Amino acid sequence: MTTQDERRKTVTVLFCDLAGSTALGESVDPERLRTILAAYFECMKTIVERHGGTVEKFIGDAVMAVFGVPSVHEDDALRAVRAAAEMRDALPGLGLEGRIGVTTGEVVTGTEERLATGDAVNVAARLEQAAASGEVLIGEPTLRLVRDAVDVDPVEPLSLKGKSEQISAYRLVTVREALERPHAARFVGRERELALLREAWERAQLERRCELVTIVGEAGVGKSRLVAELLSSVGETVLRGRCLPYGEGITYWAIVEMLKQLDLVPSDELAAAAIRSLLGDSEAATSPEEIAWAFRKTLEQAAAEHPLIAVLDDIQWGDETLHNLIEHVSLLSTGSAILLICMARRELVEHRPTWPVTLRLEPLVEGEVEALLADRVPETMRDRIMRAAGGNPLFVEEMVAVSRERDGDIAVPPTLQALLAARLDQLDPAERHVLERAAVEGETFHRSAVRALSPEEGEVTPHLAALVRKQLIIPDRPQLAGEDGFRFRHLLIRDAAYDGLPKSVRATLHADYAAWLEQHGGSMVELDELLGYHLEQAHTYRVEVGLPDDASLAAAARGRLTAAGSRALSRQDFGAAARLLGRAVALLPSTEIDLPLELHLTEALMNAGRGGEALRQAESLAARAAERGDRVGELCGQLQHGIILTYIAPEGATEQLEALAGDALPELLEAGNDLALHSVYQARGWVAFLRGRTDSARDAYDLAARYARPASLVDEHLGWRSICRLYGTTPIPELLAWLDDTESRAGHDHWHRTSRAMALAWQGRFDDARTLLSGTRAELADRGASILLGGVTAIESNMVEQLAGDADAAAEFGAEGCRILELLGDEAFLSSAASWLAQALYRLDRLDEADSWASRAADLGASDDVFNQMNWRPVKAKVLARRGDRQDAERLAREAVAIAETTDDPNGQGDVYADLAEVLELGGRPTEAREALEQALQRYEGKGNVVSAARVRRRLRELEPAV
């Protein structure tokens, strides 16, 4: 059972054990041994607690400590490593030898049994056991957090008990102070803030006094970068000091750092005595008031000759004594030019609201972040980094660095995770509770939803106001009418809050939020997708933590995801459809088949350019259906598998699919299953199309559409039905009328629009055709429908430009489309695209390239792909004719004509006859060329292709014999 205090945290675990303790027990008197062990435990405990860790327990001679419990600190890993080094060095002084293991990982804390539970505890114990006497081994996760502050030696990967894979480990050599983060990134924005700093510096010099400037902002927002920009433009003496978050003697740590840099003893004897005492050079007693006065005198003396800038960082960690010293110096210094710059996080003003703040540094705005990123990452990653980082320059820099290490994969660096977790751990428990409930809804959320998920907190508005004040969230436009909307300051805060919730709590909250959303979100277009996500999360987390299976949750999630995926499929957003339907299929019980869902998934995967996955999905469907004795499901899976093969492995696939569809049709007619009949007629339509029998294909797709409606399918095949009419015998006026009649049902079907574009182009309406195709390409690119984008770009856009006489534009479209299809590994579309690119290149007299692409089309296309076979031959033929090989040229051209005559495509027939005429004309046979052109004209006029018909008439006039 989950308790209210349970939380998931990333902590660092340390195990320390004595080496040779058995031999020690044999050689030492029991009472003496007890004294030794008591001193050992007390020493280890003192060291751990001095570094902010918690000793969970002593196990025999071993000490287990956790850093991050009860409160997370951003430097828990460094604290643990420092403690480990100190423990290692202290053991010889106790007359003992020991070994230590340290690692970092996610655990559950706040349980009744122990402080931390998780794999990190086991790994730390195993690292300790693998360490040699006097050695500290740290794990890879810890090293990633402390890399800049340690020297280590790698050891051979360890095979640890209970771990399936070897573990990387490193021998700790020394621990150093972490280096200050370099300011390598561009300085962007902050012009006003930098001007204010310069004005303060000018006032200090003009008025010969101390000017205090305090810069407040969240970690990483650019405080030190701003100060560095100021310091780069001045040549004065600069002192630096940093307050430490923990440790002994830290009250004056930053002041001592400055004094050591200054290396100056004040001339006033009393002041000198106080400074010596502070530096440890004297044991004379002194007081905070005397130290503040002596430090002020020292700065004044140093600044008397040269103006001085003193920079104090992280003063939010300083105590009241240090803060009083800063105020003393800033208020009472006279006669010397001193700029005292203090940098702090927002905790300073939360704990000391009267502190004078000069600058509150806000995150960078969008344009400034874009300038910071510039060309350092691909554009596809830029938006994701900007959205996640929320204008924080450190977050931007860290995520850019990680993306480079991971070849473009964007992940949150562990240093940032620790920083954000520490910030949230400082919140009031009620505020943290509200923030976590808000995180369940997402990056944007609503007050009523948070209140519904937080009934024990009563009114949540004051807590939300406090979170706004602490700049963790900001008010935002609500997505629901009548609601108060909010948004996390940046996505990383949302993720950090969410990650702290135990998975069992997440499961409950997601289910509760889904119930709230179903009641309040009826007007949301994406309601099914949102409900599906939250129900899916509730089910998944229950499974992961071993809670009793709730089949109703999985079924409800699957239903919502299926509805959302089907809508995405109907608008041809294939990438989204594949994701949504894939998640729905994953929620199916292992013994169940959802035929419409699984068929839709294969279609979405195929059109999204994921043909291999589509093939495996179809194979899985057929195999599972066969095991269950479901003949209808088995045949549908096989038909879908056959269709996909014609795209990704086309040779012989059409013949196999034709045989399968022929055998399946009688069985499926007898079964009377509308969905299955839709599938078989879809397959028959595709076979007929590949055979060039476009009128037969049209009839088959019309039948498939007839069965789609009673089967509750969203796809009426309007696109394919229009393509079949486009490349069939349907005259263009009749085609345009049919397109008008079906327009209201076509929605986002791109083939429906490209059919209209081609029909308009054949009528000479090129601008209208270009407008349609441009919109289609943009929409397909936005949806990530890559195969279709490649096809439309390489073929239809290319064809329109060739009709319009712009061969350069045609070649550009053709090349771009082929590039897309090549990247996706598609062969079916690419073979046709290669033929049309070859035609465009031929028109530009780039004969070698045209010949190469025609050969590519011949190699890629299946031998029974009629359109491909009749398209590459004419290009080859014309190139050969231009080179003087008239015999082979005519042979290829007549082969293309013979193939075209087997089709229902009058326009394609006209094209190959026109190409034959060109070959014959190049061969000096004008009479036969005229005959071929007359055949072409007959086909074009029958189809209503005005542009091509006019072009052929001009050629006929040119070939008229002289009178």
What SS3 string covers 896-933? HHHHHCCCCCHHHHHHHHHHHHHHHHHCCCHHHHHHHH
CA dihedral 866, 869, 870, 876 (to 10 degrees): 180
Q: Can you tell me the distance from the alpha carbon of 850 to that of 839, in angstroms, rounded to the nearest whole number?
A: 7
Q: Can you tell me the distance from the alpha carbon of 686 to that of 689, in angstroms, rounded to the nearest whole number?
A: 5
Phi, psi angle pair for 151, to nearest 5°? -110, 130
For residue 331, what are the CA distances in angstroms to 292, 325, 327, 498?
A: 12, 10, 6, 45
**How does pLDDT run across 522-574, given as a tens digit for each residue?**
888 889 999 999 999 999 999 998 888 788 899 999 999 999 998 888 877 88
Q: Of 557, 541, 558, nearest to 549 (Cα)?
A: 541
Amino acid identity, residue 52? G
Positions of E strands within 675-721 = none
Residue 4 has what pLDDT? Answer: 56
* Helices within 21-117 (DSSP H only): 21-27, 30-50, 76-90
Name the 3-class secondary structure at 28: coil
Residue 457 DSSP code: G
Residue 405 has what pLDDT? Answer: 60
**How does pLDDT run across 420-448, given as a tens digit for each residue?**
888 888 888 899 999 999 999 998 999 99
- What is the percent of the chain with per-residue pLDDT over 70, rounded to a whole number? 94
Residue 831 has what pLDDT? Answer: 87
Q: Can you tell me the distance from the alpha carbon of 159 to that of 540, in angstroms, rounded to the nearest whole number?
A: 31
Q: Are strands 150-154 and 169-175 parallel, antiparallel or unpaired?
A: antiparallel
Residue 20 has what pLDDT? Answer: 65
Residue 963 has what pLDDT? Answer: 46
Phi, psi angle pair for 942, to nearest 5°? -65, -35
Residue 720 has what pLDDT? Answer: 87
- Which residues on neighbouring strands pair with residue 309, listed in sequence order? 238, 339
Residue 827 has what pLDDT? Answer: 72
User: Are the C-beta atoms of 825 and 648 separated by less than 8 Å?
Assistant: yes
Residue 1 has what pLDDT? Answer: 44
Residue identified by tokens 């002289």 is 962
Q: Can you tell me the distance from the alpha carbon of 620 to that of 219, in angstroms, rounded to the nearest whole number?
A: 51
Q: Can you tell me the distance from the alpha carbon of 442 to that of 524, in angstroms, rounded to the nearest whole number?
A: 15
Name the 3-class secondary structure at 308: strand
Residue identified by tokens 């119930």 is 515
Q: Can you tell me the distance from the alpha carbon of 21 to that of 101, in angstroms, rounded to the nearest whole number?
A: 17
Q: Which residues contact 92 (CB under 8 A, 6 or more apart)?
A: 134
User: Are the C-beta atoms of 310 and 336 separated by less than 8 Å?
Assistant: no
Name the 3-class secondary structure at 92: helix
Task: Give per-residue burial for 702-740: e unless 16+ CB within 10 Å, then b.
Answer: bbbbbbbeebebbbbbbbbbbbbbbbbbbbbeebbebbe
Q: Which residues contact 925 (CB under 8 A, 6 or more apart)?
A: none
Q: Of 424, 432, 546, 502, nearest to 109 (Cα)?
A: 502
Q: Which residues contact 88 (CB under 8 A, 6 or more apart)?
A: 98, 100, 134, 135, 136, 172
Q: Can you tell me the distance from the alpha carbon of 138 to that of 116, in angstroms, rounded to the nearest whole number?
A: 18
- Which residues on neighbouring strands pair with residue 355, listed in sequence order? none
- Rg of the chain on CA atoms, in Å: 38
Residues of the chain with pLDDT under 70: 1-5, 20-28, 111-114, 178-185, 248-249, 380, 402-412, 711-716, 783-786, 962-963
Residue 485 has what pLDDT? Answer: 93
Amino acid identity, residue 227? V
Residue 113 has what pLDDT? Answer: 55
For residue 139, what are the CA distances in angstroms to 12, 67, 128, 860, 930?
A: 10, 15, 11, 51, 82
Q: Of 156, 61, 154, 66, nearest to 102 (Cα)?
A: 66
